[in-house]
């Protein structure tokens, strides 16, 4: 090989190496691109978590409202049942008093008067 051939070989190989270097540069992200990608990722995560948190807060609010309504319903039902028990007890006492009165008036035994002479 002579000097001119080796110089030509080196000259031919330079553009190939230069092309490979350009390809590597194109594939290697620049610091600003990395920062932009990181910021887009952070923004995406923030939106996703924000939506999830908002949905959870809405569900908690709905659940709290539902529990308050259930508590009010149970309280009113408890009061209603208590009133009915009191009314039933009163009705029961009234019925027993009426039955007692009926028995006393219907089956009244004749009182036998005894005189002292019979003794």
Report the range of poorest mean pLDDT among 14-23, 56-65, 88-97, 109-118: 14-23
Q: How big is the chain by its Cα radius of gyration, in Å?
A: 51
Q: How far apart are CA 30 and CA 17, in angstroms?
A: 21
pLDDT tens-digit profile of 16-35? Answer: 555 555 555 566 667 788 88
Burial of 81 by CB count in 10 Å (0-12 exposed, 13-18 middle, 19+ buried)? Answer: exposed
Question: 107 versus 41: which is more confidently predicted?
Answer: 41
Q: Give the pLDDT confidence score for residue 51 in this predicted structure.
A: 82
Q: What is the mean pLDDT of residues 27-56?
A: 83
Nearest to 54 by CA among 65, 62, 43, 44: 62
Is the pLDDT at 104 greater than 80, yes or no?
yes
Nearest to 68 by CA among 78, 60, 80: 60
């Amino acid at each position: 090989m002579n000097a001119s051939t080796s110089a030509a070989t080196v000259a031919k190989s330079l553009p190939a190496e230069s092309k490979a270097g350009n390809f590597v540069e194109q594939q290697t992200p620049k610091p600003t691109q990395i920062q932009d990608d990181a910021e887009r990722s952070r923004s995406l995560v923030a939106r996703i978590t924000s939506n999830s948190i908002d949905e959870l807060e809405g569900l908690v609010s709905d659940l709290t409202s539902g529990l308050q309504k259930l508590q009010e319903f149970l309280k009113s039902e408890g009061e209603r049942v208590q009133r009915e028990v009191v009314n039933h007890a009163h009705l029961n006492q009234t019925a027993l008093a009426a039955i007692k009165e009926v028995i006393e008036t219907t089956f009244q035994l004749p009182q036998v008067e005894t005189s002292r002479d019979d003794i």
